[in-house]
Structures are given as structure tokens and as C-alpha cells.
């Protein structure tokens, strides 16, 4: 979620009942620490705990040093990225490319765990390719090395974000280890959250793309898992207030020029499934100042408020992939903990 889960967005998600939010991926190369982008990614001032920082790289000593560096600057949890499928990450043998080199992956985990006194977690995929899934082997190694919790995205490196998530491999990982396992991939509704927990036996869920433009999905899931009842969408007034506060925080964090430019993607996600969203995005993308951008947001939500008290989402486009219903394998979610952030930071 590099370029998405900056501090303002993490803060918003935590306010809306996400129990845990990990920083954008931070490269382990010390030569990159003093760039403006890196400084922002390492800025946790005022952030709600637990503060978790994700590091990426392919050199065990460099990653161990990066872990120490971030703990000295406030990180309460270190997360190792072995899940990113992006070419620019995998081309330097980092991210999910490490799944193809189990000895190096083991050396990295051992080095980082030994380097710091805070919990170390690991994010992986199910393997390099559908034919070479090795998540269970990686998970077993990680547990033996002292990893505190493991997040598994239900796709291989080769799959990137195509197709549908493979929850059976996550289920196999959960059966193989005793540390908390966090299921990730295609979890985009409260009902799917329930079904994925039931099918995999996972201890928690990790939400990524589904929170883009819909950060209130966390409270919707939390409420549904606790009660079985669906929360209605936010009122237009509440959504407008949350988005304006997000923008204020975003501009303050990134500065005027960068803030206006990078806010466009968030505003695009917020409006993607709303009536008039395409026209709103054209107008908003032409805005050059934060004042213009905010004024356009207010006019858009005033129009929505005149038509409905609550947000009304348009049906998905016909070209969107249809995810098949899951067949739960467990009869109860009793004692299942959907959010584990506080436990990891304890």
C-alpha cells in the first residue's frame, strides 16, 4: 500500500475501528533515509499506537539495521515485507521475490528478530507461483525464528492482484503454526470477512484495497462480526466531514503542492461508486490548490445530500470480477479475535 497508507490515512482508519495499521513500505537502504519521501514515511508524530513499520530489502544486515533505526524512532512493531509483487521491488530480490529463496528469507527473519526487542511480524504470499506454493514452509520457518504474527495474502507473486484469493493455503498455514495468522486478499465486505475467518480459521483479517475510498469498512466489519447485523452506510454529512478532516490532515502532512497532487487518488476512490463521481473527478483533478479542491468536495457532497441522507453506492460495473461465494468450514466464530494490533504491541 505504498503511496496510500501514509500517516493521515492510517489515523483515519484507526479512528474508524481498524485495530492495527502498518506504515508504508520503507526501504532498508540507509542511503534513502534522508529523502523527503522517506522522512514522511518515518514520521509518526501523534499517531495512535501501536506504531508498526514495514521494512523491505534483500540484505539481512541492512534489514536488521533498518529495524533498529525504526525502533529508535518510535516503531513498536517491525513488519518484514515478503509480499509485495511490484516489479521494481522484486527486481532487486526483495518483497515476494524472497519466497523463491528460502535460505535468504530465513536469514533475513533471523537477523531482524535478533536485532530488536519489539515484536517482529512477517507479510508473505502463498508462494512464487501457483505451481510452487511454499507458504507453509515459510510460515514454519518464521515461527521457529521468533516471528510474532504472520499475514498471508492469498495469491502468489506471479498472480499479482489477478484472479481470486486462495484461502485454502491460508487455512493450511494456520493449521501448521501456533502464532497468529492474518488472512488477506479480496476481503471487501462484512459478510466476506465472516466467511474468510470461518474458512481459514485465521486470527485476524488484513484489509487493503477495500479500504480505499471506504475507510468506514472497518467499523462495518467489526459490528457485523460482533452482532451479525449490518451497519448502514455513513450519512452524507458524516462522510463529508470525515473526508474534509482527512484532506486537512493530508495537506498538513504533505504540504500544499504534494498534498493537492496526492489527494486526487483518495478523492477518486471516495467518489468512484457515487453518482456524479466521474464529473466530480474531472473537476477535482483540474484544481491546483487545496482551497479549490475542498470547495469542489463540499459542492459534490451538497449535491449528494440533496438526494439522499446516506451514501448510495452505484452497482459494480459489469466488467468487474465476480468473486464466488465462500463455503465456510467452521461452525462458529466464537473466541475468534478479528483485530490483534494491541496484542502485538503489548
Question: Regarding beta strands 181-184 and 120-125, do their DSSP bridges make them parallel or antiparallel, or are they unpaired?
Answer: unpaired
Q: Which three cell numbers stand for residue 346?
A: 503489548
Q: Which three cell numbers stand for residue 162?
A: 489477478
Q: Are 310 and 234 in contact (CB under 8 A)?
A: yes
Indicate the angle between helix axes 256-271 and 277-286, nearest 10 degrees.
170
pLDDT value for 338: 42
If you average pLDDT over residues 116-123, what whole number do you get?
A: 98
Q: Is the pTM of this model over 0.85?
A: yes
Is residue 145's pLDDT more than 60? yes
Residues with Cβ within 8 Å of residue 303, at least 6 apart in sequence: 276
pLDDT tens per residue, range 205-235: 999 999 999 999 999 999 999 999 999 999 9
pLDDT value for 205: 97
Q: Please indicate whether residue 90 is annotated as part of the active site.
A: no
Question: Regarding beta strands 120-125 and 149-153, do their DSSP bridges make them parallel or antiparallel, or are they unpaired?
Answer: parallel
DSSP three-state, residue 313: strand
**Three-state secondary structure of 82-132:** ECCCCHHHHCCCCHHHHHHCHHHHHHHHHHHHHHCCCCEEEEEECCCCCCC
Q: Which three cell numbers stand for residue 228?
A: 451479525
Cα atoms found within 13 Å of the Cα of residue 94, Cβ hemisphere only: 21
Q: Which of 13, 84, 90, 159 is catalytic?
A: 84
Overall size of the chain counted in residues: 346
Q: Are 245 and 295 in contact (CB under 8 A)?
A: no
Higher pLDDT, 43 or 141: 141
Amino acid at each position: 500500500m505504498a503511496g496510500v497508507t501514509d500517516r493521515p490515512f492510517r489515523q483515519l482508519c484507526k479512528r474508524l475501528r481498524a485495530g492495527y495499521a502498518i506504515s508504508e513500505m520503507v526501504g532498508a537502504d540507509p542511503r534513502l533515509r534522508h529523502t523527503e519521501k522517506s522522512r514522511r514515511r518515518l514520521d509518526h508524530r501523534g499517531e495512535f499506537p501501536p506504531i508498526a513499520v514495514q521494512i523491505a530489502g534483500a540484505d539481512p544486515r541492512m534489514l536488521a539495521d533498518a529495524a533498529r533505526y525504526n525502533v529508535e524512532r518510535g516503531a513498536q512493531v517491525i513488519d518484514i515485507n515478503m509480499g509485495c509483487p511490484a516489479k521494481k521491488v522484486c527486481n532487486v530480490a526483495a518483497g515476494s521475490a524472497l519466497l523463491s529463496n528460502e535460505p535468504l528469507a530465513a536469514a533475513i527473519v533471523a537477523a531482524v528478530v535478533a536485532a530488536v526487542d519489539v515484536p517482529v511480524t512477517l507479510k508473505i504470499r502463498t508462494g512464487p507461483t501457483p505451481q510452487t506454493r511454499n507458504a507453509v514452509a515459510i510460515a514454519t520457518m518464521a515461527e521457529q525464528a521468533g516471528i510474532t504474527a504472520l499475514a498471508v495474502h492469498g495469491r502468489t507473486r506471479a498472480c499479482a492482484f489477478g484472479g481470486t484469493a486462495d484461502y485454502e493455503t491460508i487455512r493450511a498455514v494456520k493449521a501448521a503454526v501456533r502464532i497468529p495468522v492474518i488472512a488477506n486478499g479480496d476481503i471487501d465486505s462484512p459478510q466476506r470477512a465472516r466467511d474468510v475467518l470461518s474458512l481459514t480459521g485465521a486470527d485476524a483479517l488484513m484489509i487493503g484495497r477495500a479500504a480505499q475510498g471506504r475507510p468506514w469498512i472497518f467499523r462495518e466489519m467489526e459490528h457485523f462480526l460482533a452482532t451479525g447485523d449490518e451497519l448502514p452506510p455513513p450519512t452524507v454529512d458524516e462522510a463529508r466531514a470525515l473526508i474534509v478532516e482527512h484532506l486537512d490532515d493530508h495537506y498538513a502532512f504533505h504540504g500544499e503542492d504534494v498534498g493537492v497532487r496526492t489527494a486526487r487518488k483518495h478523492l477518486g476512490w471516495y467518489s468512484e461508486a457515487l453518482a456524479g463521481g466521474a464529473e466530480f473527478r474531472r473537476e477535482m483533478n483540474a484544481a491546483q490548490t487545496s482551497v479549490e479542491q475542498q470547495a469542489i468536495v463540499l459542492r459534490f457532497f451538497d449535491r449528494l445530500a440533496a438526494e439522499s441522507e446516506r451514501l448510495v453506492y452505484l452497482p459494480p460495473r459489469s466488467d468487474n470480477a465476480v468473486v464466488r461465494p465462500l463455503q465456510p468450514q467452521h461452525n462458529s466464530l466464537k473466541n475468534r479475535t478479528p483485530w490483534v494490533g494491541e496484542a502485538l504491541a503489548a
